[in-house]
Chains A and B, each alone.
Chain A
């Protein structure tokens, strides 16, 4: 390949990344700061805005915690055991990536909405899932389920069973094996999966939009609140919130890139050992 071709390819790649990936957040930031930093920050002090930030943080922490446990469990089961329809299970884990989040939201509504299968019965016991935080959590859980499982799975496959067998023969219990051998060995991949889940959970719009009912100050997460603000022509507030959300997500992704490198080095060292 000639130098000219190489440089034009590199240039084109950078240009596309600049236009598609870097320009939008920058524009969002500049829109947010149109009336100055102070005005922008003041919009965040609005009670509905604060409520949205709080709800997003809560939902993110909960869904990351729950999906980390489920993800590790799923990856561990799939990688360490051979059982019928194992391949089907692997494919099922990826459903949330391929199915539109709106569909997922609708499913939860169908189950728990007041017109839904179980909604009326649960209402009688004063349990509210649709148009309330539990519904938002369920929707977020569904959408973010694959990430921990899918990042940890390849590493666990590559680990094999030998180290765990060795630990077992040395007298370790199931939990000791998990905490001292399996998870520490998979820690960089796990961290990477957790951060990916975090970024995804914070930004989820479609599924949450359907189940939450869009009640400002109550069931609006940051992405939903941004939409409400924008539709209400409060563009500085909308872009400030958007900038904050983008910043949180980019920080997460930045961390992830850092750990990803380590994970790859670990995997390489492991390959040498085999």
Chain B
């Protein structure tokens, strides 16, 4: 039940210089829950639609369950697909929508009417809408439609589930509930799921693995922890959360920041040269320093105080424990954990910096 994508290339129709998918290779093992993430136009949906067989590609292979999809019809792919706008059949009841995949089976494979009804009821229970079978889609809320679309995709018992921005149109509270429910459904049914989203928080919350895409290429394909600790490029780091960047140089095992009032810190095993230290807003400590950077409270978040530190040519927002006093005389910044980049590539190792600063 695995999906393997090898060297997939797709050029824009009508403009062959624009590459929509650039040598994309991904391996999605049986039972995995993978999120394709990236900004709009990164190629996530293009890739998902290619896997489903909705869009063509120029070169490369898509192998589902060890079978090259070039030889497979949409039905043989054994794939359930949920569209961004749900794409429910608005002239059919919810029950008819759900049973569609069974109703269109050729006579010899189609289950008996009673069997189909039973399956529809089972799915309505599964999506927790047992009484809505006879309603029409336009009577349903966004969250309900989303679940009906999911039930419809699951009716023929596919082993793979492809979801294209399935939570996009839902309000934040419903979103959180539906995605947790989706994750439990994935585990319960033993599905292999590929989710497209531009919301990194959602992806981190629900998927085992994130495939970060940018300009039709895969930038990094890793678990949440690895992405956080060892982002392949500054883009990955910035995409996954608020990021502060401190330009500087590495000289003789020390990182020397360009900006004033930022303390140098030791790094080990990295050649001298220019570098940038990227941190999350909470990965920093303050010490009072006379004539240091002026600092001001700027609200709070997650129970932490947000402080605006004026470093001369720019102001950075950092997060510190709410209990921490704000020195009036000025501060010096101590970077506690940084990922170092040179020419947009991660410099390893970084844990040395962590250990040294701790």
Q: A165 to B50, alpha carbons, bound, how many Å?
A: 13
Kindly identify, within residues 228 to 274 of chain A, every residue whose CB is under 8 Å from any CB belonging to chain B: 266, 269-270, 272-274
Q: A20 to B145, alpha carbons, bound, how many Å?
A: 49
Q: A171 to B75, alpha carbons, bound, how many Å?
A: 5
CB of B17 to closest CB in A, whole Å: 19
Q: B57 within 8 Å of A by Cβ?
A: no
Nearest-neighbor residue (CB-CB) of B14 within chain A:
A82
Query: Total contacts A to B, CB within 8 angstroms?
Result: 72
Nearest-neighbor residue (CB-CB) of B82 within chain A:
A166
Q: B319 within 8 Å of A by Cβ?
A: no
Q: A35 within 8 Å of B by Cβ?
A: no
The answer to whether B81 and A166 have CB atoms under 8 Å apart is yes
Q: A86 within 8 Å of B by Cβ?
A: no
The answer to whether A169 and B54 have CB atoms under 8 Å apart is yes
Main secondary structure of the interface of B (DSSP, over half): loop
Chain B residues within 8 Å of A180, by CB: 89, 100, 103-104
The answer to whether B100 and A167 have CB atoms under 8 Å apart is yes
Chain A residues within 8 Å of B53, by CB: 169
CB of B54 to closest CB in A, whole Å: 5
0/1 string, B109-147, CB within 8 A of A gives 1: 000000000000000000000000000011000000100
Q: A269 to B138, alpha carbons, bound, how many Å?
A: 6
Q: A172 to B74, alpha carbons, bound, how many Å?
A: 9
Chain A residues within 8 Å of B75, by CB: 171
A269 with B90, Cβ < 8 A, contacts A165-B54, A171-B105, A171-B156 known = yes
Pick the contact of A176: B80, B104, B152 (CB < 8 A).
B104
The answer to whether A173 and B104 have CB atoms under 8 Å apart is yes
Main secondary structure of the interface of A (DSSP, over half): helix
Query: For this complex, into which size category does the number of interface residues on chain B fall?
Result: 20 to 34
Q: B91 within 8 Å of A by Cβ?
A: yes
0/1 string, A156-168, CB within 8 A of B gives 1: 0000001101111
Q: A90 within 8 Å of B by Cβ?
A: no
CB of B305 to closest CB in A, whole Å: 43
The answer to whether B87 and A165 have CB atoms under 8 Å apart is yes
The answer to whether A185 and B81 have CB atoms under 8 Å apart is no
The answer to whether A171 and B86 have CB atoms under 8 Å apart is no
Q: A165 to B100, alpha carbons, bound, how many Å?
A: 13
Chain A residues within 8 Å of B145, by CB: 273
Chain B residues within 8 Å of A187, by CB: 91
Q: B79 within 8 Å of A by Cβ?
A: yes
Q: B34 within 8 Å of A by Cβ?
A: no
Nearest-neighbor residue (CB-CB) of B49 within chain A:
A165
Q: A184 within 8 Å of B by Cβ?
A: yes
The answer to whether B137 and A273 have CB atoms under 8 Å apart is yes
Chain A residues within 8 Å of B56, by CB: none
The answer to whether B90 and A170 have CB atoms under 8 Å apart is no
Q: A181 within 8 Å of B by Cβ?
A: yes
Chain A residues within 8 Å of B74, by CB: 168-169, 171
CB of A134 to closest CB in B, whole Å: 38
The answer to whether A163 and B89 have CB atoms under 8 Å apart is yes
Chain B residues within 8 Å of A269, by CB: 90, 138
Interface residues in chain A, defined as those with a beta carbon under 8 Å from any beta carbon in chain B? 162-163, 165-173, 176, 180-181, 184-185, 187, 266, 269-270, 272-274
Pick the 4 closest A-B CB pairs, nearest first. A162-B87, A170-B101, A171-B75, A269-B138
